[in-house]
Amino acid sequence: MTAVATHGPGFGWHMPVAVRFGAGCVEALPGELGGRRVVVLGFTPATALGWRARWQALLGGQLIDWIEVDDGLSSLARCREIAAHVWPLLEREPDAVLLALGGGTTLDVAKVLRCRPLDGRFAGVERALRGEAAWPALALATLWMVPTTAGTGSEVTRWATVWDTDAQPPVKRSFDEPFGWAERAFVDPALTLSCPLAVTRDTALDALSHALESVWNRHANPFSDALALGAARRVLRALPAALRDPTDLGLRTELALAALEAGYAFSQTRTALAHALSYAVTLEQGLPHGLAVALWLPAAWELAVGCDARVDALLAQVFTPETATMDNAAAVSAQAARGAMMLRAWLQRLGVELDPTRLGITDAAQRIHAALGSPRGRNFVAAG
């Protein structure tokens, strides 16, 4: 007999993205375009890695243009700049595929750039993202995603993070629309072999955060629970080993699968408290997103324990799967509480900073209290 509590009477699930997963799966992409042409948004290192030349040779006349997306924040200013190059191409060839090859920044930028206003002006998109006006009439480009990191999950969600660095102070804008889903995604773990160790760690921490945020979420359901628990365990098991042996394709495949599982899970639940707290840290400190959200994971875990029997049962199993057979609620809750300490120790072994004061954050308790009232914070089981 398990200690897992039942969910409500029903739930919905929507996942329109057709996904191919596996090492080498991108080799099929040129053929699957058929006769269609493609505009590629490629992350800048793709050129140095030789991918650009290789893809140009594979695509031949199907490639309309290859446009580089620099590393950094997926900002409105960056989207505006790249739109000036991409939108005229898509206007001339409306049946073309917009293909994003890169990490979270490239994928998020691509979601915005697929939204080409019929008047061709970026101002309408800008006003919509700022909540100042409804979306203008759009010609939506077909969007295919090829992630090169194992973490973001953007390839299977309908939203993107867009940083408004023109605002004072800079703020995070959320792109969250029904037309945010890509049509196709190719998740090829071999592409992640190029990731430096810091990127490997930080993106995997992002995947772990998506998994845990799906667990302690008011919108969870049995499918998201199973995916989230599997993803969390996979990251905890595979990441330390992958950092020791970054050339091991098997470990890279485990991390890519974990990121996809977590992406599926939080595509239905959205994120919660730790993400709500992370964005200010990224803006204030320039801390990579994976580190910024990991900073708050142990605190969020501790707050989640004891709020819901389902959440306790799942958190108890993250490090100790054998607790799935326990039927003593108090024992399950105690093991869930121990899990927070185990997570803290695991993160510290990876060199993750977990002391907010060392980052100049002296008001952590106040930030947590405020975040619980934010849209993402209200997804958290302990909110309200």
DSSP characters for 206-255?
HHHHHHHHHHTBTT--HHHHHHHHHHHHHHHHHHHHHHH-TT-HHHHHHH
Sign of CA dihedral 341, 346, 351, 353: negative
Measured CA to CA, the distance from residue 155 to residue 147 in angstroms comes to 7
3.20.20.330, 3.60.70.12, 3.40.50.1970, 1.10.3210.10: which CATH number matches 25-187? 3.40.50.1970
CA distance 97 to 36: 7
Report the DSSP pairing between strands 97-102 and 18-21: unpaired
d(CA 99, CA 144): 5
Element (H, E) at 333: helix 329-349
**Which positions ≥6 away from 291 have C-beta within 8 Å?**
202, 205, 352, 353
Q: Sheet of 184-187: strands edge to edge?
A: 18-21, 184-187, 142-147, 97-102, 38-43, 63-69
Place of tokens 């953007």: 154
Could you tell me the two tokens for 217?
């979420």
Give the CB-side neighbour count of residue 140, counting CA atoms within 13 A.
12
Task: Give the angle 238-18-178 at the CA atoms, nearest 5°.
Answer: 105
Kindly give the pairing relationship between strand 159-164 and strand 171-176.
antiparallel
Instruction: Kindly list the domain boundaries of the chain, sorted by start residue.
Output: 25-187, 197-379
The CATH architecture assigned to 197-379 reads Up-down Bundle (1.20)
Q: What is the pLDDT along the chain (384 residues), one digit of tens a residue?
A: 334 456 766 899 999 999 999 999 999 998 999 989 999 999 999 999 999 999 999 899 999 999 999 877 899 999 999 999 999 999 999 999 999 999 999 999 999 999 999 999 999 999 999 999 999 999 999 999 999 999 999 999 999 999 998 888 888 899 999 999 999 999 999 999 999 999 999 999 999 999 999 999 999 999 999 999 999 999 999 999 999 999 999 999 999 999 999 999 999 999 999 999 999 999 888 899 999 999 999 999 999 999 999 999 999 999 998 888 888 999 999 999 999 999 999 999 999 999 999 999 999 999 999 999 999 999 999 987
